[in-house]
Copies of this chain bind each other. A is one copy, B any other.
Amino acid sequence: MTPLDLPRPYLLFLGDADDTTFLKTGLGLRDWAPGQCVAEYKCPGAGATLGLPAMTPREAHAAGARAMLLSAASIGGAIPASWTACLIEALEAGLDIVSGAHHRLANNPQVKARAEALGRQLIDVRTPPADLPVATGRKRSGKRLLTVGTDCALGKKYTALALADAFRARGLAADFRATGQTGIMIAGAGIPIDSVIADFVAGAAELLSPDAAPDHWDVIEGQGSIFHPSYAGVSLGLLHGSQPDVIVLCHAYGRRRIVGLPDYPLPAIGEAVDLTLRLARLTNPDARCGGVSLNTAGLSAEAAAKVIAECADRWGMPVADPMRQGAALDALVDSCID
């Protein structure tokens, strides 16, 4: 009954990708866990690169790699048969294999048989640990921050990673706690919260950020949104189990409607903060909002700074894009750790 714990560092496997379009996982790993990325490897003839040293599985193992991580998205979530030879080569070189795909690695009978014969692990990051507990609601020691969102896919993971980095830069003890497959690969540990049986979501969140020293921060990756008609239950279970002292609301500049559900407008920022805190206070009566993480990707530095200043003024709280260093991010961090 422990969160996933991945063998690291990694050899990043790029499959047969010809450019980085399908390498979001690999890009995230390279940018957020560079110390865990020993090298890259790909199918013969594939054109893409992450700019890492090219190594064979055997060379990567000699250089310290412990697992080959599938870093390319695959159409429909299945692992292409054209990858089989490379996967077996990695197993024979002494590497475990880590995958975030929907289909399980063990569904490939050749890969499964070779892993069993060699005693290697096939780790599907989307598969939650067995025997998760039901939440108890017991207050835990230590401090917690949870990123929440007005929608899916607008920066909750990267906000949590950036804030954990910023906390450590201030000399604070802080851990990023991962709840989705890319986050788990970056952190090397975590629980894929949206794959958990519904009754155990809050319990999984409790397990993910255990009792800690009073001044230690767990910075927890949020999932979904309590305003998303498909996933709000996941978000609420994660919110209750996380018992955050501080929430940071993540929003994408200019987004007006839930992605893929045009009948659903995004909530106003004030409404989102108010309802999130009302719900959060069930398990942590002292929950408060640290501010807004505003995704300004696509704007110039000048335009982003102007938008951020306007939003901070309009919403009456700190606003920053954690992908951009500067005074706004400093103010958001100040507000969170206050």
**What's the minimum C-beta distance from A329 to chain B, rounded to whole angstroms?**
31
The copy count of this chain in the complex is 2
**Interface residue range, chain A:** 35 or more
| Residue of B whose beta carbon sits closest to that of A203 | B230
Binds B, one of A18-26, A29-37, A190-198, A310-318: A190-198
Q: Measured between C-beta atoms, what is the minimum distance from A20 to chain B in Å? A: 27
Q: How far is the CA of A203 from the CA of B275 in the complex (A)?
A: 23
Encode A131-158 as 1/0 by CB contact (under 8 A) with B.
0001111100000000000000000000
Q: Are A229 and B197 CB-contacts (below 8 A) given A137-B264, A236-B236, A261-B137?
A: no
**Which residues of B lie under 8 Å from residue A275 when comparing CB positions?**
278-279
A150 CB, nearest partner CB in chain B, Å? 13
Which residues does chain B contribute within 8 Å of A201, judged by CB atoms?
198, 233-234
Q: Cβ of B233 and Cβ of A282 under 8 Å apart? A: no
CA distance A232 to B195 in the complex (A): 17
Q: Is A199 an interface residue (CB 8 A)?
A: yes
Q: Which of A203-252 touch B at CB < 8 Å?
A: 203, 226-227, 229-238, 240
Contact of A202 among B135, B136, B233, B264 (CB under 8 A): B233
Query: Least Cβ distance of A247 to chain B in Å?
Result: 16
* A261-312 interface (Cβ within 8 A of B): 261, 263-264, 275, 278-279, 282-283
Contact B202 A198 (CB under 8 A): no
- Which A81-139 residues have C-beta < 8 A from chain B? 134-138
A233 vs B233: C-alpha distance when bound (angstroms): 4
A135-B229, A261-B136, A278-B275 known; A234+B196 contact, CB < 8 A: no
A133's nearest neighbour on chain B, judged by CB, is B230
Contact B240 A229 (CB under 8 A): yes
Contacts of A198 in B (CB 8 A): 193-198, 201, 233-234, 237
Complex Cα–Cα for A216 and B240 (A): 36
Write the nearest CB–CB distance from A94 to chain B, whole angstroms: 34
**Could you list 11 A-B pairs, sorted by A, with CB under 8 Å?**
A135-B229, A195-B197, A196-B198, A197-B197, A198-B198, A202-B230, A202-B231, A227-B282, A232-B236, A234-B237, A275-B279
10 A-B pairs with the lowest CB-CB distances in the bound complex, closest first: A233-B237, A137-B229, A135-B230, A233-B233, A194-B199, A233-B236, A198-B234, A236-B236, A201-B233, A198-B198
